[in-house]
């Protein structure tokens, strides 16, 4: 059966509208039953589910709903409080769950699930969980609380990703999210001069005017104080973007390019959104590129299949499987600082020349793309050859169609993007 609730990255929705405590409780129960079945555990076993959440005001209520569902299936809900998504992926023994809507606005929330070993669920796994949503409660579970999950996570990240940052002057934007009480202290401990912003979560300001979805405050901080660079996380901490010493933004493609050259990898996994300029740079350096659908779980799957270590997305997910299991904004930021080798970030970023890109999100009634739109995108891409391309895809989290165009000039990319967006609006708007 096609998935009804799961999208590109877990389940998300506006709280009280398409995401309710009742649904979250059912998800907790279904996921616990699925985990027991997937692990082929003995009858009566007691799966432990580590639960983290971000800083949204709806988080505590939904955390409790998720815990009720886990307990109703005979599992143990282990409450860790506010904890970044990558920490849950690293620390969960059997099943991990994060109450978060990642980079979405405060009125959204959601649930992300991690299987044993920090693996995000496959499409088939998510279908299996959805098939169990109406299974009746059996009860018999329990609720526990853990206090040092954040500390355990930070010790791992510092040990495996940290380096001497003495002399580095850096702005750190935590998006008023899960890293607010954690990330700045890591950079301080490693010797950097740190200027934190977005570290005053109040339940309603996560991702608002700050973080990886809005770099303006970070850019202003870096340029006003004359800092070396700035890094910004999203609300749940699995994404990171940066700005250089001039306040110029770097997307995930540019960050990944710097890391690929500095870390000496021979293969890197990216998604279909990745800039053609990245592909050209990797070809020039004999680094093989594996391309996947959008979603960091697809990147991780490809890396495991290809025995690779490094991958990521333009949106800021960066995965390094040398000492991790999932995308991690803090680990990525530390790797980026280590990879500079004394260079300015602008100098390191200059190794990649990106193709101009234009993007547009078209709000639609249906995300089912008709053949006419796909054919027109293919026609333009064939016509452009190696000079550009068009990508049209439905969002996995919102009722929109995403249009991306690349060309040799900004004007060409914008013109192509506008023509396809107009066609989408005509057919589906």
Q: What is the set of active-site residues? A: 102
CA 336/CA 230 separation, integer angstroms = 11
User: Within its chain, how far is the Cα of 67 from the centroid?
Assistant: 24
Check: CB of residue 39 under 8 Å from CB of residue 160: no
Report the candidate in 336, 330, 305, 331 with the shortest Cα–Cα distance to residue 320.
331
Phi, psi of 357 (to 5 degrees): -120, 145
User: With 0-12 CB in 10 A as exposed, 13-18 as middle and 19+ as buried, what is 385?
Assistant: exposed
First to last CA, the chain: 27
Please report how many Cα atoms fall inside a 13 Å half-sphere around the Cα of residue 377, on the Cβ side.
Answer: 23
Quickly list H helices, 190-263: 216-225, 252-263
Q: What is the CA radius of gyration of the chain?
A: 21
CA 396/CA 127 separation, integer angstroms = 15
Check: CB of residue 144 under 8 Å from CB of residue 70: no
Structure tokens at 385: 């050859």
Check: CB of residue 118 under 8 Å from CB of residue 301: no
CA 68/CA 20 separation, integer angstroms = 14
Report the candidate in 71, 65, 64, 18 with the shortest Cα–Cα distance to residue 49.
71
Q: Please spell the DSSP secondary structure of 352-405, one letter per residue.
A: --PPPEEEEEEE-S-----HHHHHHHHHHHHHHGGG-EEEEEE-SSSSEEEEEE
CA 170/CA 166 separation, integer angstroms = 11
Strands 142-145 and 108-115: unpaired
SS3 142: strand
User: Within its chain, how far is the Cα of 234 from the centroid?
Assistant: 8
């Amino acid at each position: 059966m096609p998935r009804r609730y799961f999208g590109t990255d877990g389940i998300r929705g506006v709280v009280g509208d398409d995401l309710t405590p009742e649904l979250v409780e059912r998800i907790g129960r279904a996921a616990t039953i699925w985990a027991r079945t997937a692990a082929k555990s003995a009858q009566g076993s007691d799966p432990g589910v580590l639960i983290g959440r971000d800083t949204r005001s709806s988080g505590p209520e939904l955390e409790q709903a998720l815990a009720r569902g886990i307990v109703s299936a005979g599992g143990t809900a282990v409450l860790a409080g506010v904890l970044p998504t990558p920490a849950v992926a690293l620390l969960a023994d059997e099943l991990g769950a994060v109450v978060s809507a990642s980079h979405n606005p405060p009125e959204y929330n959601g649930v992300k699930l991690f299987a044993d070993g920090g693996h995000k669920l496959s499409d088939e796994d998510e279908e299996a969980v959805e098939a169990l949503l109406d299974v009746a409660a059996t009860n018999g579970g329990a609720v526990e609380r853990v206090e040092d999950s954040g500390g355990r996570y930070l010790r791992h990240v510092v040990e495996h990703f940290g380096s001497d940052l003495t002399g580095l002057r850096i702005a750190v934007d935590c998006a008023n999210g899960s890293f607010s009480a954690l990330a700045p202290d890591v950079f301080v401990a490693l010797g950097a001069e740190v200027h934190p912003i977005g570290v005053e979560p109040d339940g309603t300001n996560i991702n608002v005017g700050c973080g990886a979805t809005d770099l303006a405050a970070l850019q202003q901080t870096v340029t006003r104080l004359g800092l070396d660079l700035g890094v910004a996380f999203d609300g749940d901490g699995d994404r990171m973007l940066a700005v250089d010493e001039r306040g110029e933004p770097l997307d995930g493609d540019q960050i990944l390019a710097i890391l690929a050259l500095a870390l000496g990898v021979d293969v890197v996994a990216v998604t279909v959104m990745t800039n053609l300029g990245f592909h050209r740079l990797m070809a020039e350096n004999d680094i093989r590129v594996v391309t996947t659908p959008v979603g960091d779980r697809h990147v991780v799957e490809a890396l495991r299949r290809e025995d690779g270590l490094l991958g990521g997305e333009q949106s800021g997910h960066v995965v390094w499987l040398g000492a991790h299991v999932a995308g991690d904004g803090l680990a990525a930021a530390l790797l980026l600082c280590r990879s500079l080798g004394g260079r300015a970030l602008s100098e390191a970023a200059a190794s990649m020349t990106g193709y101009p890109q234009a993007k547009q999100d078209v709000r639609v009634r249906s995300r089912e793309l008709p053949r006419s739109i796909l054919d027109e995108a293919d026609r333009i891409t064939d016509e452009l050859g190696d000079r550009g391309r068009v990508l049209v895809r439905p969002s996995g989290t919102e009722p929109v169609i995403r249009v991306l165009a690349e060309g040799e000039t900004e004007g060409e990319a914008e013109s192509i993007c506008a023509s396809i967006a107009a066609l989408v609006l005509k057919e589906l708007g």
